[in-house]
Amino acid sequence: MNQKKRTEIAELGEFGLIDELTKGATTSNKRTLCGVGDDAAVIAAGRDDATVVTTDTMLEGIDFDLTYFPLKHLGYKAVTVGVSDVLAMNAQPEQIMISIGVSSKIPVEALQDLYEGINFACNELGVDLVGGDTTASMTGLVINITTIGRAKRKAITYRSGAQFNDLICITGNMGAAYMGLQLLEREKRVLRDVENPEPQFTGYEYLLQRYLKPRARKDIIDVLAEEKIVPTSMIDVSDGLASEVLQICKASKCGARIYLDRIPIAKQTSALAEEMHIDPVVAALNGGNDYELMFTVPLSMQEQVMRLGLVDIVGHITRESTGAYLVTPDGSDIMLRAQGFKE
Ligand code: ADP
Ligand code: MG
């Protein structure tokens, strides 16, 4: 019998799957400057300008758990997730469209809360909600957000622009959102059978905020513009530092060295990681959900970038043939690996 070949998604992983599905997607319109493969697609708009556009989907039970995720925060976070990809192109976010799939178990008031959070984030970022779609869902809440932004073509930062010897910079700190999620999951487990649950979050409020209400780093894009710094490449940190470094290496055909002791990790992140017997470096490398920005600049800009006081230099770009490594304080090299397909 002629049996059709069946490949499990797990064999390819998230990024392998995207590559497989989009390998036939060639572009033919001359205004499509960049298609699949970056944080957003880039479309020419006039001679010097471009529009960037990106879409993100969040599913109940996969990307969020409504037993502890306040809907107002979820609305705020959805906007952050979308805007973050536009910022990663060094573009200014301008419009969003939101589509929702709702099950009958969710009351109108809850959706009003969701939109309160969406509107709050839009006001904060100067973004207009200009449309969307509403459908029924049989599998819980679905949120899709399309985000549109604008930039000068020559200021757009692609994942593919990193050069040999460039410095790798990151904003904020890594792993806090992941530890916030671990804390929420722990309290959910502990309090499952308790009648009036009182979760223990004292001392870890920052971690919760980083997971539930992450801020898009528009401030960074504004400062870079003021300082006339155009990074050679940029990506937002949504899947964890390791995964993003590997994406830059793949797109730029280069290697990288990341120094473990230079990765910024907040005190609360280390404290909870220690309490929960998790290695804080693993949380920082693979945690995800940080929505910070990672970018590269030429070595000659080291002082200028340091003076901003907004970024940490965690490593540098090497030749492709040398691969992507994490360097530990005792000098040993650990090969970086991507994870993907996770919250
Ligand atoms: P990000 O984490 O920055 O949102 P992703 O890893 O989701 O980026 O996507 C990487 C690239 O692949 C993007 O350019 C995105 O538009 C594209 N992409 C992802 N999924 C699909 C799909 N199902 N069909 C076409 N393009 C896709
Ligand atoms: Mg991204």
Residues 130 and 176 in one domain: no
Q: Out of 17, 20, 22, 343, give the residue to mutate to test ligand 1, the one with the largest number of ligand atoms within 8 Å of its CB.
A: 22
Residue 7 domain flag = no
Which pLDDT does position 338 carry in this prediction?
A: 66
Residue 25 domain flag = no
Which pLDDT does position 63 carry in this prediction?
A: 97
- Note the pTM of the prediction, 2 decimals: 0.95
Q: Which residues in the chain land under pLDDT 50?
A: 340-343
Residue 145 domain flag = yes
Which pLDDT does position 227 carry in this prediction?
A: 96
Residues 184 and 320 in one domain: yes
Which pLDDT does position 342 carry in this prediction?
A: 39
In Å, how far from its chain's centre is CA 267? Answer: 22
Identify the residues whose C-beta falls under 6 Å from ligand 1.
18, 21-22, 36-39, 56, 85, 238
As to burial, measured by CB atoms within 10 angstroms (0-12 exposed, 13-18 middle, 19+ buried), residue 26 is exposed
Which pLDDT does position 15 carry in this prediction?
A: 86
Phi, psi of 20, deg, nearest 5 = -65, -45
pLDDT (tens digit per residue) in 100-152? 999 999 999 999 999 999 999 999 999 999 999 999 999 899 999 999 999 99
Which pLDDT does position 193 carry in this prediction?
A: 73
Residue 21 domain flag = no
Residues 123 and 179 in one domain: no
Residues 78 and 217 in one domain: no
| Distance between Cα 14 and ligand 2 center (Å) | 14
Which pLDDT does position 1 carry in this prediction?
A: 56
| Distance between Cα 22 and ligand 1 center (Å) | 9
Residues 127 and 89 in one domain: yes
Domain extent, residue 308, equals: 159-190+202-335
Residue 297 domain flag = yes
pLDDT (tens digit per residue) in 216-233? 999 999 999 999 999 999
Whose C-alpha lies nearest to ligand 1, atom 3? 39
| Distance between Cα 331 and ligand 2 center (Å) | 31
d(CA 119, CA 125): 10
The Cα diameter of the chain in Å comes to 68
Q: Out of 14, 19, 36, 294, give the residue to mutate to test ligand 1, the one with the largest number of ligand atoms within 8 Å of its CB.
A: 36
